[in-house]
A and B are shown apart, each in its own frame.
Chain A
Amino acid sequence: MSIELALIPIAIAIAGAVGNRKRVVQDPPNAFRMETRIKDARLLSRALETLGCQSVVLGEGIGSSYHQTQIVFEPTQSGAFDAIFIGDIGAEHAHAFLSDLHDEYARQVQEYVYTNLVTRARERGLVLENAEVQQDNSIVLTFSL
């Protein structure tokens, strides 16, 4: 063995914690803002729709709703989206929603990375020898170089 690597897809922010409360002066009084590690708007929309939430593009952000609460995903300078909950939702429910959303988003990232990898590896001359889904739902691929 030569090198072992740990990598994080660029669609996921390396730093930051999911659900950290933030305060921005411009936010409406009945809103609260939470940090996410989500960086890809297209995969975010897919994850929202998989959870049964409609999503609409709002400029550089994404709008959605959860029960009676409006949610705006606003891009930040770090590249990750903040989730702004506007309406009658408790912090606990908002946190639980974000946790479910992150799980689904990560699955979307996994699928995206896998699909891209198979296509791009072929283009770079890597030959796929084997691909298996493990019990923990991770995907293991072996390429010869």
Chain B
Amino acid sequence: MTRRVNIRIFPDGHIQAEIHGIKGKKCVEYIRILEEILEAETVDSAYTAEFYENESIYVEDMQHIRQSGDC
């Protein structure tokens, strides 16, 4: 899945951001990066099902893709 972030800056100053394609702790790291580059504080967050997918499953998938030559 493509790793992407969508950011919407509203004329009243508030900001919405959606981080796509990143799982687990990496996703939390990107929250800190976004807060830094936006000079903003997170006031609400919603973790979606993808966030809770086990990273080990992700690694297994990647190994499977590599073995099958799809990478």
Using a CB–CB cutoff of 8 Å, the interface residues on chain A facing chain B are 1-12, 14, 103, 105-107, 109-110, 113-114, 116-117, 120-121, 124, 126, 129, 134, 136-145
Q: Evaluate contact between A114 and B9: CB separation under 8 angstroms.
A: yes
**B39 at interface by CB-CB < 8 Å:** yes
**B6 at interface by CB-CB < 8 Å:** yes
Using a CB–CB cutoff of 8 Å, the interface residues on chain B facing chain A are 2-23, 27, 30-31, 33-48, 50-51
| Cβ of B46 to closest chain A Cβ, rounded Å | 5
Q: A4-B17, A124-B37, A138-B10 are in contact. Are A144 and B43 (CB under 8 A)?
A: no
Residues of B within 8 A of A4 (CB): 16-18, 45-46, 48
Task: Give the secondary structure class of A's interface.
Answer: mixed
Q: Evaluate contact between A11 and B6: CB separation under 8 angstroms.
A: no
Residues of A within 8 A of B18 (CB): 1, 3-5
Residues of B within 8 A of A145 (CB): 3-5, 19, 21-22, 30
